[in-house]
Amino acid sequence: MIKLKSIEQKIEVMKGWKKISKIEKRQDTLKRMMHEIDSEYNDLNHHFDACTNAELNNLAIHHASYLSAMRKNLQDEFSHLSEKHQHVTKEVTLANARVEIFEELDKETRTQQVARKNRAQLESELMEATDRKKHDADSQ
């Protein structure tokens, strides 16, 4: 039973690491996307500084607003993933601790089983020796 619990917790640890890996991959993608947005935003600012055409400037302002909103959404998702990463990391840490506890319990249980077996063997040998001694004393 204890061994089964240990295995279940090891599975939870593996699932947790898989979740963490997915979260980190998505966070890397989001970082790259935010960096691209920042670069495009900087390009727009340079264009805005150099451009005298009001119509193009209005388009640049609208595009910059769109980029800003897009970046905020990406940042919000990144923050949410950071919280999720923290939560899953705690779950993995707890599952790892439970694995260690169950493995220690299993080891202790096996040690106790061996000790009981050895004790039973010693008691049996003592009873045999006592019976032999009694039998020898009776036969004399």
Burial of 1 (0-12, 13-18, 19+ CB in 10 A): exposed
Q: Looking at the chain, how many residues does it have? A: 140
The C-alpha atoms of residue 120 and residue 125 are separated, in whole angstroms, by 9
What pLDDT does residue 94 have? Answer: 96
The tens place of each residue's pLDDT in the chain, 140 residues long, gives: 888 888 999 999 999 999 999 999 999 999 999 999 999 988 887 776 666 777 777 888 889 899 999 999 999 999 999 999 999 999 999 999 999 999 999 999 999 999 999 999 999 999 998 888 888 777 77
**Tokens standing for 67?**
């980029």
Contacts of residue 103, Cβ cutoff 8 Å, sequence gap at least 6: 6
What pLDDT does residue 51 have? Answer: 67
Q: What is the DSSP letter of 53?
A: -
Residue 68: count of CB within 10 angstroms of its CB = 12
53 backbone φψ class: left, alpha, beta (φ>0; ψ -120 to 50): beta
